[in-house]
Amino acid sequence: MTAEGTLLRYLTLEPGGAIGKAAFNREIAALLTRLPDDPSLYFDLGEPHLLIPLEQLVNTRARDRGIVNANRHMLTAANGRQEKRKPLTVRPLGNELWLVVDGNSTLLNARYSNWRAIPCSTR
């Protein structure tokens, strides 16, 4: 859901490889804390990375438990109580789209929190 309460929709990889749209799970959204749009709070930005706009990223999966755990880990990292995560791992899909290989739950937290862009590595 967005800050206005509408259902959040995002790009996802469907079975068979087509790109489709998925809707954010309302029950999971109710368990999340919105995260300020400041990637330096959650990510180790010491390695080369790109800041990729969220609308150019395609999720490969959405695991409810993973989304909730990622939210908890991101909050803990922002408070300095655990190490920050590395940027998401992505690979190009063409048409200015990127497939998320690692970091799907983190990306969904960024989507839920209405971030503009997120750090990504192409390695």
Predicted confidence pLDDT, tens digits, the chain (123 residues): 544 455 789 999 999 999 999 999 999 999 999 999 999 999 999 999 999 999 999 999 999 999 999 999 999 999 999 999 999 999 999 899 999 999 999 999 999 999 999 999 997
Say what the pTM is. Answer: 0.93
40: its two tokens = 């330096």
HEC profile for 2-46? CCCCCCCEEEEECCCCCEEEEECCHHHHCCCCCCCCCHHHCECCC
Structural domain boundaries in the chain: 9-121
* Domain topology for 9-121: 3.90.1530
Please report the pLDDT score of residue 33 as a whole number: 97
